[in-house]
Structures are given as structure tokens and as C-alpha cells.
Structure 1
Amino acid sequence: MTSPPRPASRHHKRPKGEGQWALGYREPLNKNEENKKNDDGLNVRQRIIDVYSKRGFDSIDPADLRGRFRWFGLYTQRKPGIDGGKTAILEPEELDDRYFMLRVRIDGGQLDLRQLRTIGEIANTYARGTADVTDRQNIQLHWVEVESVPAIWEALEAVGLSTTEACGDTPRVMLGCPLAGIDAEEIIDASPQIAETVERYIGDPAFSNLPRKFKTAMSGCPAHCTVHEINDIAFVGVEDENGERGFDLWVGGGLSTNPMFAKRLGVFVRPDQVSEVWAGVTGIFRDYGYRRLRHRARIKFLVNDWGVERFREVLEKEYLGHTLPDGPAPQPARGGRRDHVGVFPQQDGNRYVGFAPRVGRLDGDKLLAIADLAERYGSGRVRTTVEQKMVILDVPPDRVEALVAELEAADLQVRPSTFRRQTMACTGIEYCKLAIVETKALASDLIDELERRLPGFTDPLTINVNGCPNSCARIQVADIGLKGQLVTDATGAQVEGFQIHLGGSMGDSPGFGRKVRGLKATAAELPDYVERVLKNFQGQKNEGETFAEWVRRADEADLS
């Protein structure tokens, strides 16, 4: 392992091949870095407004189309009819459709009536009605044409929303607890810190050219719903020995093909210091992050190489100019599920009502219907979660059951089965150019089949379905993680299927899912496989034992 760098004021070397700016290596070492040096991604906005929206898809510079467009939440979607076996073979221009996925940035998952209705209307007008809630609290639209983008931006920005830095090598949407300021057991409300950090730094050229994507979470949720363990940077609510409430700082989490859990720096961050500390950590990533190889360009690799002591030293000496006090670790997460599905009390005596769309799939009409329900039964405040779910706030106790009935009539379940509640799926081959298999419809069908076969199953259980190895749906930390790939069926044909990861978890006993040698299933075999392994779990589990705990001790035969 290479020795970590010392503060910039001293002489130190790291191999030039890593491309770290702080060490004087500014020449781009790959095409992505060259594109960013040639022109900041933020500058593409005006070209979209002035040129591309007027001249159409064929006028778009390829460096903008497959690069800088992401700085404003735009990706070309997959051309229909291209099977998963072609994903890694075809050139980008062969996979590109002439339509875009557009990601609406919803920091902290907070929406009001005007915002939610605007997204629903945009979905119906410009996106063929599509709208998916993601596991990062965004809403994604599809079938967007470049000609429509300026009008979409104008509508979003009129209600305080944006797509700025929703994708790209930037600070992406900042996760927050959907019950921030509301949950009766909350440690601290991080909403002001999210709002301040977004206001100060999103769209700032100082942070618009990072080595890779940069994911943030800020929360005082007692259930730890923002999954701080797998974010690049996370501020977790804590109370110190003097009763002062602030944040514990975590850095270097991330999944994809080389998963790592975030590490505690062991510092106590006061609420008024959060934006400054965030900028310091992000600055370290910008300046010291590895820019040569895209697959090693996340901050987790830097943190892993340096260690937390060196990272803290560089943060305090080079970026903050002062030390941070030591602080306590977060308390264990409340309860066995980290979502907010169901009916729960608020601080003010009202209730919040969390509900489960099918694997995050909605549409414009349903968004408008949710807005109507939030207006009639609550105050109009709606939240998105990091589990592809939604929450209506401020419901008087005597109106809860009427709201629940209307939500469930729209197939938005408030008291869902474990399978409906905790199955998540990425976009998949339907729209994604990286995907190998279909995900959304398969996961929805799997929910129905498991509900039919195992109606009495009530244990918490996450099933995360991913269309490729990149883990957008967090397969390594799921109880059952399904990584899409082509597999051979009984006839010898190549068909859609999954490599299976079992027993991943976060929280008190974090661990990445266990891969049983050769354990794969075709899409058609999945219901039989999941039913079999869950029946084994039910027959063998000890009192209070979770699925992940059972997997760690189970025989491979019982997992196959």
C-alpha cells in the first residue's frame, strides 16, 4: 500500500498515475477528465437552452451528450429492443435512444403541493406519464426530448426545484430523513444544514469537477433511514456527554463493484459547522481524489488508503484551519426496519402516513392523486424516502383511516406485506444503457408471487433487484441481493438471470452479502428459489434471529 500523502505544505510524492491535483498532476489521464478540463459541465445548460433545444438531438456534441448533460440530470436512455447481451459490446451511439431520463433533484426528500403537482404535470406533458421514485429520494422521468428541457426547467425552477448536479461528477442530491423536524424521537433536525449546504455549494464551480459522483446524507433520524454507512459523506445525529446535539462525521462509503462501508472520523460537528466541514471533505476529494481510473475514483479508495487519522489530519490542518473535538458514536438504529412505512405519531400530535408504491414505480396521474390526498388529509407536505417510498405528513388522528383507505385503493399500501414493503429495484434494461436484465416488472411480479406463496411471512426482509453489477439498488447490503446477468438455463440457452447475494446488512452488525459458490437463478426460477430459502429460514431460525444472522451460520445447501 502506498504511503498516504502528508499536508500539502510538505514535500511528498504519490505515483503520477493517480492524477491527484493536490500533488501537481493536473493533466487529464482519461477521456472523462479531458472533457471536464475542456469545459465545466455546468456550462452545458446554456447550450441546451440556446442551441440543442432549438436544433434537436442531432445537433448535440457527443462530449455534451454522454458527459456534460449529466451535470443537469440528463442521461440518454436505452434504445428499445437491444438485449442485455449487447450492453457491453455496442458503442454508446448504438445504445443511445433519442430520448432522455431526467432526474429531478429533491434534497432531503421534501416536497410541497406545488412541487409535487408540477412534477406530475411535467411527467404527463413531457415524459409519457413516467415517474419513478429512486432510492436517493429523487424522481426520475423518461422519454424526455431535448426540445422540452428548457420548458421543464422553467416549470421546476418556478416552484423551487432543479436538476442541477443531479448526476455527473458532482455533489448529488443530499439525503435527509423524510421526517426531519417531525419524528417524535428525532435526535436533531438536519433540514437547515441540508438547505444551507445546497444553497452555498450546489452549482458552485469550486465543486463541479470532482473525480466521480459524491453522495451526501445528513440526518438525525433514530432509525438511521439515510443509510449513512454507504454514503461518501454522512452527518449522523448524536448527543454528546454535555447534552449538546450535533453530528458524527462518516466518510468513504459506497457500493458498486468494490463495496466499502464508511468510516467514522470520530469528530463532533456542531450544526453551524456542517456546511464548512462538508466543503472541507469535498475539497479533499476534489484535490486528492484519484482521477486516473474511473473505477478507483470514488472517495472510498482515498479513505481506505489514507486511514481515518490521516484523513482527519488533512481535513483539520489544510481545509478547516482548526481541530474538531472528539465525539460520540451514534446510538443503535431504532427498530428492525429503517423505512417510514405505516402510521406513526409526529411531535405535534398529528400522524405521518408512509406508503409503498411498487418498487418505486409511479406515474404522473398518481403523483397528482397523491398531491390531492396530501391537500385533503394533511397540510400538503409530502416526502420521498431512500427506500423508493413516500410519506404524507400532518394527518389528524381521526382522518388517518380514511386516508389509508384511499391510498390502498390506489395500490399505494400503508400496511403492506414484507415483500411489498422491502423489495427495491433499479431502472433496469427498460431504460438503462448499463443494464443486462429487466428489473421493475420482474420485482413487481416477484412480490405478488411471494405474497401468494408465503402469506404468513412477517420477518423484516429486503430483496434488492439490480440490472447490472453497479449496485444502484444496493444489492450487497440486502438480505437477498440479486445482481442481473445472463445465465444458462436447463436447455443450455442464455437467458436473463441473477447472481444471488445473501445476508447483507447495515446497522449494528454490518456486512456485505454472502455469495454461495455458483448460486445463480434464471428470472423464471426466482420465485421458487426465494420461497425455498425463506422456508429454510423459517424452519431453522432461533428466537429473534434475523435473516442475515441466520445466513451467516446456515449451511450452503440450505441457501441453494
Structure 2
Amino acid sequence: MAQTRIAPPAARNEGQWAFDQREALNGNEQFKQDDDGLNVRARIEEVYSKEGFASIAPEDLRGRMRWWGLYTQRKPGIDGGKTATLEPHELDDEYFMLRVRCDGGALSLQQLRVIADVSREFGRDTADITDRQNIQLHWIRVEDVPEIWRRLEAVGLSTQEACGDTPRVVLGSPVAGVAADEIIDGTPAVRHIVENFIGDPRFSNLPRKFKTAISGSPHHDVAHEINDVAFVGVVHPELGPGFDLWVGGGLSTNPKLGVRLGAFVTLEQIPDVWVGVVGIFRDYGYRRLRTRARLKFLVADWGPELFRQVLETEYLGFALSDGPEPPPPPTGRRDHVGVHPQADGQFYVGVAPTVGRISGPMLTELADLMEAAGSDRLRLTVEQKLVVLDVAADAVDPLVEGLEDLGLAVRAASTFRRGTMACTGIEFCKLAIVETKARATHLIGELESRLPTFDQPITINLNGCPNSCARIQTADIGLKGALAGGEDGYQVHLGGGLGLTSGLGKTLRGLRVPAEELPDYIERVTRRFDEQRTEGELFAQWTQRAAEEDLR
């Protein structure tokens, strides 16, 4: 089909390939043009792993190695006040974070054991579950990377395009294919995209990262509103179960929720539509400034009608059917924690690790418990949680008891343990200003002690910097790391949410809570909500009508 330029070019050169604006306009675009990020693997295996950290070329170290899931981690002992003042080489430690992509959040028992072994042998027992259904390991030496890859790939796992300006992990419902109330199982589409397009050089040089979510769950359990492209389960009145198409979501320092294109996509059409949306991003996306290079900026400038028109005429060659808007998710939680019946008569068991922090030994013990329960399938969630699938009725209680003995809460998960997330923080991240994981863990313990009977759903997200890896703008209480008088503190966002309360939280002007006062502040606000809420009112809804003094 002939290509027609429907969208007018920008007034300035934005680096849009569709308009032959291919000159490299910044350092990132230059190194990507000089050599595809995927090609760095050969140098890691043949040079860097043999000659050591000092042999790594700078553009590979802080650039192309991300295409294989590797980021240098923060050198210990550098305080948050120096994050923005030191040069990258001064922040770099000679160790790496390694991100293992778990598309659809899916792990087999064998894969889980291999990750546990890699964590123990090469990562000082570290293993964090992210809110993107990945597992991150730390303290990885470049010398060990080829052996780690060999072990992961032997069981079907990969770190390819887990980072970088590429299609990142494809999110999927953690209970796809088993949930009794599922609209449609999106797993075949997740697998098709991963098997056919991840590592494809056509999509390995995008303007920025590209995030995908596919879920047929009525609970909206993949945070579709903040992905670049999302396929949301819905029932068409004539065509039956399928997906509603959303584009242009993303947070960071300029948050935007995704928009509906009003288009209905069948399961079989998802791969073609996905390729089309990624193609638009690659060709029309802004490459001049990194801060404006996400798809959300193009969508905001074009609007949904023009975006859909370009998708259908230039990339698909056919018109998509109009479709209905997905209904709101059911009331209650969507983290899948607890014991739930599957459609086949078995059960799935949702587990709440504390802010996603686990360890290699814990993963091994988890694998032993799963094996004893007869389960071969584990799922990660976008809430930093775990779900064990396919548990027979008589194995549920022994599994739950074993998990809770291990410190993985199921029935004993408090609302604070279920609802609190934290990013990596200053412990390992070079962008962070403050500590997050340990502070969130302490906060949970304090709130459980102070508010033992509080049971309303509430989300508390801690982020070490403004980039919102822990989704602070879409939490009931979002806490963004900031220095207050030279000490660790947090700027407060209140009333954000996804699903029933989709929207971005509001910043309380002038309020920065010192780290040591976090438990006091959150206890105070939570008590006021509990005292003032009406029947069925959610925290985010209460913040919209609460008096300013009650939010401070």
C-alpha cells in the first residue's frame, strides 16, 4: 500500500524519520545510528567479559548494554545530594543491575529455580520483582554475564531488550487463561509479539522505550492507562470478546494517561496492530529531545482521531471496527492476593512480598513449596506481587502456611503490605535521591502496628526520584524523593489512581515530609479518611472533597 503523509511535519526538526529527519540530534541518537544496540552482545561475550569492566567503551557502558538488560548500578556511599552534580563515571559502580524479562509475568518452576541459582551465585542473593513484571538482579559482574545468559536462555528466559529504546517486556494478566471471570485470554498475542518481534532490528531503534500491556481481565490488572499501547478486554455486541485499543500513556516528569482510539481489536489482529503502533512511534516519534521522545507526546499533539487514521491507512491497510468502552473494573482490589478459584476447579494463590523485595534463597524455597503443591506456574504482577497457579484444593492450606512461614503474606496480608510499592531507590539506582525499599518496609511495619484494624484499599508508592518508576502519580499516596533541608524527604501526591479512580494525584504545595516523619504523616491522613469517609467511598474520592488541612 502506498505510504501517504497524513500528519503535517512539525514546525521544527523533531527528528521524525517519516519526514527524512534522520540526522542525529543528540548523543543517544548518534550512538544508535553508529551501531545497533543489539550488536553489543558480541562485544560483551568476546571482549568485555574477558578483559573486564575497564575495557568497556563508554557508549556501550551507558548506552547499548541496556539493549541486553544491563545498567551500571550506583557506587555505594554516594548521598542523594550528589546525584545531580556528579558525572556518570563518578556514579558508576563496577557492577550491573541485570533485568530479566518475564513477558506476561510468566515463569515456570524450572525458570524460577534458574533465576534463584543465578541470584545466589552471581547476584549476592538479590532479586526484586518490579511493577513491570520483571525480575532485577544486582551486583552482576560483566565477567559473569555470558554464563548467566547461557543459563537463562537454556530455560527460555532472556534479557534482550529488557531496557533501552526498544519494546520492553509485554505485560499480561497474571491470571490469564485461568481466571473464572476472564473476558478473553491474551496470552497467544503476548507470545506472538515476543517470539516474532523482540530482537527484530526493525524495532530496535525507537525514539525511547516502548511499553505494551495486554489483558482480558475485567479487573484491569496491567495498568493499561500508563502504557504506550494497551489492549483491554471487552465484549463487542456483534463480534464477541476482543480488545479495546489505548495509546499514549506514560508517567515520569510529564505524566499522561493513555487515550482510547475507539477501535475494537480481535485477538488475531493484535500483532498487526502492535506492529503498526510501534511503526508510527519509530517513524513519527520525536527524536530531537529525550524529554519529548515518548509516544505520549506525539499522541497529545495528534489526538486519537488522527492517530487512528494514520494507523489504519499507512500501517494496517484496513479499518478497525469501532468498539465499546471497557466497563469499570469491579470494586475491590485487583492485585490477586489471596486464594481464588480457577475456571478449571483448581485455585490460584496470590502472595504479597514486601515491596517486591525477595532473594535467591527465598525463590528457591518458593520453588520447593510450589513443587510440593503440584504447581509448575508462577506469575508476577504489576503490583510487585506473585501468583502461584494450578493449586489443587487439598494443597491450598499447606501452601499458604508454607508461604506465610517464609514471610510471603497471603491471608495475613494487611492492606498496607498489599498496597505499598517502592522503586529501587538510592541503594542501587544512579538517578535516585533517597532510600525507598528499606524505608517502605519500615513504613509498612509501623502502619500495621498503629492501624491494625484498618482494612480499606489504599496504595502508597515510594519513588527515589521524579521519574516515577513506582507510579507515584497514580497512587492514593504517592511519595517522591526530595531533599528537605539537606535531609531525606518526600513530596506528597494524593488521590491518584487507576481503574475505578483513574487520574493523576494532586501535589500538596509546599509539603515535604521528612523521612522519619512518614509514618506519622500517613497515619494522620489515613485516620482522617477512615473517620470522614462515606459508605463505599475510596481514598482517592475522599481527597477530592477533603479540607486542605485534613490532607496535611
8 Å contact kept, 1:188–1:237: yes
C-alpha distance in 1 between matches for 2:6 and 2:427: 52
Q: 1:332: Cα distance to partner?
A: 1.4
The match for 1:491 is none
C-alpha distance in 2 between matches for 1:131 and 1:516: 34
Amino acid at match of 2:132: R
1:89-238 superposed matches below 5 A: 89-238=85-234
Consecutive unaligned residues in structure 1, runs of 5 or more: 1-6, 489-493
8 Å contact kept, 2:6–2:310: no
Q: 1:12: Cα distance to partner?
A: 4.1
Q: Deviations over 1:55-101 (max 9, x none)?
A: 00000000000000000000000000000000000000000000000
Matched, 1:367 2:363: yes
Amino acid at match of 1:62: P
8 Å contact kept, 1:8–1:22: no
Q: Deviations over 1:206-232 (max 9, x none)?
A: 000000000000110111110101101
C-alpha distance in 2 between matches for 1:330 and 1:13: 34
Consecutive unaligned residues in structure 2, runs of 5 or more: none
- Which has the higher mean CA deviation after the structures are superposed, 500-509 or 196-205? 500-509
1:129-528 superposed matches below 5 A: 129-242=125-238, 244-415=240-411, 416-488=413-485, 494-528=486-520
CA 9–476 in structure 1, closer or farther in 2 if over 3 Å, else same: closer
Q: Deviations over 1:450-470 (max 9, x none)?
A: 000000100000000000000
CA 206–501 in structure 1, closer or farther in 2 if over 3 Å, else same: same
Q: 1:10: Cα distance to partner?
A: 6.3
Secondary structure of the residue that 1:284 maps to in structure 2? helix
- Which has the higher mean CA deviation after the structures are superposed, 129-138 or 335-344? 335-344
- Which has the higher mean CA deviation after the structures are superposed, 16-25 or 546-555? 16-25
C-alpha distance in 1 between matches for 2:502 and 2:11: 33
Secondary structure of the residue that 2:60 maps to in structure 1? helix
8 Å contact kept, 2:226–2:258: yes
8 Å contact kept, 1:16–1:25: no
8 Å contact kept, 2:501–2:540: no
CA 217–10 in structure 1, closer or farther in 2 if over 3 Å, else same: closer
Q: 1:17: Cα distance to partner?
A: 2.8
C-alpha distance in 1 between matches for 2:339 and 2:297: 40
Secondary structure of the residue that 1:544 maps to in structure 2? coil
C-alpha distance in 1 between matches for 2:5 and 2:435: 52
C-alpha distance in 2 between matches for 1:482 and 1:403: 34
- Which 4+ stretches in 1 moved above 6 angstroms? none
Root mean square deviation of aligned Cα = 1.0
Secondary structure of the residue that 2:455 maps to in structure 1? coil
Q: 1:509: Cα distance to partner?
A: 3.5
8 Å contact kept, 1:113–1:375: yes
The match for 1:550 is 542
Secondary structure of the residue that 2:516 maps to in structure 1? coil
8 Å contact kept, 1:378–1:392: no
C-alpha distance in 1 between matches for 2:527 and 2:5: 61
- Which has the higher mean CA deviation after the structures are superposed, 87-96 or 393-402? 393-402
C-alpha distance in 1 between matches for 2:195 and 2:94: 33
Secondary structure of the residue that 1:17 maps to in structure 2? coil
Q: Deviations over 1:91-125 (max 9, x none)?
A: 00000000000000100011111100000000001
8 Å contact kept, 2:496–2:506: yes
Among all aligned residue pairs of Structure 1 and Structure 2, give the percentage whose two residues are the same amino acid: 65
8 Å contact kept, 2:331–2:500: no
Q: 1:400: Cα distance to partner?
A: 1.1
C-alpha distance in 1 between matches for 2:119 and 2:424: 16
C-alpha distance in 1 between matches for 2:365 and 2:84: 40
8 Å contact kept, 1:485–1:496: yes
- Which has the higher mean CA deviation after the structures are superposed, 458-467 or 238-247? 238-247
Q: 1:243: Cα distance to partner?
A: 5.3
* Count of aligned residue pairs for this structure pair: 549
Given candidates 46, 51, 62, the residue that maps to 2:58 is 62
Secondary structure of the residue that 2:499 maps to in structure 1? coil
